[in-house]
Amino acid sequence: MIKSLFRGLKTQHKTIEEEVFAIQNGDRQLRDVFINKFKPFVAKSVSLVCRRFIYDSDDEFSVGLIAFNDAINNYNRAKGTSFVSFAEVVIKRRVIDYIRQQSKHQNLSLDASHHYEDGSNEQASALIESEISIRGYLEIQDQQARKEEIIKFTNDLSHFGISFKEIVKCSPKHADARRTAIEIAQLIANDVMLKDLLYSTKKLPIKHMESRIKVSRKTIERNRKYIIAMTLVLCNDFVYLKDYLKGVLET
């Protein structure tokens, strides 16, 4: 696993997260050293998406490197995710977005192919085959990303004594109840004290939030597992699960 390449790595007695924090606080020299040190990691992350060896001269590598730099700027240790895990997700998403953009560009080229006098059929055929290949590849990547996200989510739930199957079963049946539960989860995720209490005690900090919500204690306790699960989604980089929350709130 790519994360194992840098697990426990320390430079000059600093952890990776401590180095990132120092960079975020203005250490430009360390940023250059840090990025250079992690170039093999960036190349490996990009190659996993592209399914081929990546060279420094490849456009995809440049995309990955920019994404890695953005990951340094946007990393938040308070969310409980290691920097390596966070950076890997950012890089993979950015490269997939790049591939999608290239695919759209090819679609535009395909629309214009009718204007070619010579070899238009061959060019159109090649573009169609390329488009089909890219779409199929992106579907596979999305499926894999969803699978990895569910595995990570299931593991996080286990620390709270909750299984993924339980969340499916205990999800509130009514849309209003689901929206209310997610709003409570948002309150916890956006409050440092409430979030710290949740992670440290592995229990909902009901006593500390009762005065801030218009929901009975009984209702909160009835939806306890679902609220905890939704809080974990909001506190982590779960792209597909957050889309689910967005859908619930918009209905």
pLDDT, position 4: 47
Q: Is the pLDDT of residue 182 over 70?
A: yes
What tens digit of pLDDT does each residue of 139-167 get? Answer: 776 777 788 888 889 999 999 999 988 98
- Residue 92 to residue 129: CA distance in whole angstroms: 24
Q: How far apart are CA 104 and CA 112, in angstroms?
A: 13
- Take residue 70 and report the two structure tokens written for it: 């953005």
Q: Which range (95-104, 151-160, 206-215) has the least confidence?
A: 95-104
Mean pLDDT across the chain, nearest whole number? Answer: 80
Is residue 102 a contact partner of residue 47, using CB atoms and an 8 Å limit? no
If pLDDT is split at 50, 70 and 90, which confidence band does 197 have? Answer: very high
Q: What is the secondary structure of 128-179 as a DSSP string?
A: HHHHHHHHHHHHHHHHHHHHHHHHHHHHHHHTTT--HHHHHHHS-SSHHHHH
